[in-house]
Amino acid sequence: MSDTPSSPSADLLLEQELLGCLICAPEALAAVASSLEPEHFAQPLHGRLFEALKARHASGAPSSPVTLAAALKMDWSAPVADDMTVGQYVARLVADAGPPIMAKSYSADLRDMWAARAIGDAVSRTASSNGMPNEKLEALLDEIDTVRASMADAQVTRETAGESAQRLLEQINGIRCGEAQPSGATTGFTDLDRIMLGYRPGELIVLGARPGVGKTTFGTSSLLQSAKQGNGVMLFSLELSREAVAARLQADLVFDARFPLTHSQIRAGNGLSDHDFERIMGATARMNALPFEIEYAPRLAVADLGARVSAARKRLARAGVTLRVVAVDYLKFLKATDRYKGQRAYEVGEITAGLLAIAKDEGVCILLLAQLNRGIESEKDKRPDLHHLRESGDIESDANVVMFLYREAYYLEKSEAYRSGDLQALAEHEHVRNKLEVVVAKNRNGPTGTVDLFCDIGASAIRNLDWRYGGHT
């Protein structure tokens, strides 16, 4: 790129209007300083001018054509283009300045143009480089990811406390007047919604449990209940197959305590009656009408997950649906970068921080399922707590809400008394076999506590505790 502004392209015209605006109205820099960098300018001289303006603004010093001359350390009478000197060119920028109110919009457009140029340059370099096709493609995708990350980092996140309060006030007023809906989505469980305010946009919720207690069942059943209310939901099934997930969802949809069908029966297929098959066909039809998407990638990096969430959000938006909840099953199968390779605690911290960033950037709630460590098995009281989270304390610190699952029936079934047919153990099991405790151990949205739910793990169904036997979904 030439150091002189000789081309009247759309990029340069936009840069000229923005720079003129910032010279004439230095206060407009506050709206763009955090999202724009000198390298975003196509014209190097424009980048130098912006850098000087930004430096003077940061120091609190006034900016004018005269002070810019000293800051740039350039000969003001040096020629640049069209028989103009640097001083004359800056004067023309002032004459052609855009209105200060447009500075933020100019900045966003300029940043988009930079991203398009950067990706175009990456494509050109890749096409002309040597190497295996798969290696070239991987290198290109890495460069595109770098540009995307830079764009995400450049998003303007600043506003005054008054602006934040006004935004919330307008939202509350809209809800009271029936003109808006509360932000976020239901978990499907009334008492749990009351404690944690449902699935809130921009939040990371961690759900921990030992294997077999029901964390996948909770995830699929909760997403299903929320999708029935019109909320867009997405499941990243990094462990279970398509068949396994579909069977769980169908078992949940057809659930009737009088005639339950387990997901294992549905997968086996050969023991089903005609009536059972008709119920499954009906469940499949209802499933097709729900805004529920599933990704079955076996292992994903956080950046890949973020890109897929973004694509799903846009895809659902075109259908008039807002993506509100994204569940990840489960933490073990997410890949970290090589930055902390071999240091699992740091890798987990990188993953949870990345998921929280995705939740904020995409305006969704992320439900992350996690496995608890084995230490709980040796304790007398096997109800989980925060210290049972595996691998990293960052899981707790990054999460807005941390919940755990506890099923007394799960531990009774493993006891020697139950296995030997002890009548008291069998009676105790019968009393609690459909009880699931959700322990809310950390909650930035309100109180902590325990919520009791009805569950049938074999049928992949979880309901409010006041759900009646013989009821239908």
CA distance 52 to 37: 11
In total, the chain counts a number of residues equal to 473
Instruction: Say which CATH number the domain at 23 has.
Output: 1.10.860.10
**189 and 131 in one domain?**
no
> Considering the domain boundaries, does residue 141 fall inside one?
yes
**246 and 205 in one domain?**
yes
**188 and 145 in one domain?**
no
Contacts of 140 (CB under 8 A, 6+ apart): 122, 123, 126
Nearest residue to 401 via CA among 455, 344, 451, 435: 451
> Considering the domain boundaries, does residue 119 fall inside one?
yes
**198 and 102 in one domain?**
no
Cβ pair 260, 471 in contact under 8 A: no
pLDDT recorded at residue 391? 59
Domain residue limits at 394 = 184-464
> Considering the domain boundaries, does residue 422 fall inside one?
yes
> Considering the domain boundaries, does residue 160 fall inside one?
no
**233 and 117 in one domain?**
no
**324 and 442 in one domain?**
yes
pLDDT recorded at residue 469? 41
**359 and 242 in one domain?**
yes
pLDDT recorded at residue 460? 92
**356 and 441 in one domain?**
yes
**232 and 344 in one domain?**
yes
**389 and 296 in one domain?**
yes
**134 and 232 in one domain?**
no
**126 and 251 in one domain?**
no
Instruction: Say which CATH number the domain at 392 has.
Output: 3.40.50.300
Going through 58-109 in order, the beta strands assigned E by DSSP cover 79-81, 84-85
Q: What is the pTM of this model?
A: 0.69
> Considering the domain boundaries, does residue 1 fall inside one?
no
Domain boundary among 132, 152, 172: 152
> Considering the domain boundaries, does residue 165 fall inside one?
no
> Considering the domain boundaries, does residue 161 fall inside one?
no
Q: Give how many domains the chain has, as a whole number.
A: 2
Mean pLDDT by 10 residues, the chain (473 residues): 54 86 81 83 87 78 68 71 77 84 85 89 87 83 76 60 76 72 84 93 94 93 95 94 93 87 88 90 93 90 88 90 94 82 81 90 94 79 80 77 93 86 87 92 92 93 71 42
> Considering the domain boundaries, does residue 162 fall inside one?
no
Contacts by residues 191-196 (CB-CB < 8 Å, ≥ 24 positions apart) = 191/451, 191/452, 191/464, 191/465, 192/438, 192/440, 192/451, 192/453, 195/440, 195/443, 195/446, 195/447, 195/448, 195/449, 195/451, 196/401, 196/403, 196/440, 196/443, 196/445, 196/446
Domain boundary among 103, 137, 152: 152
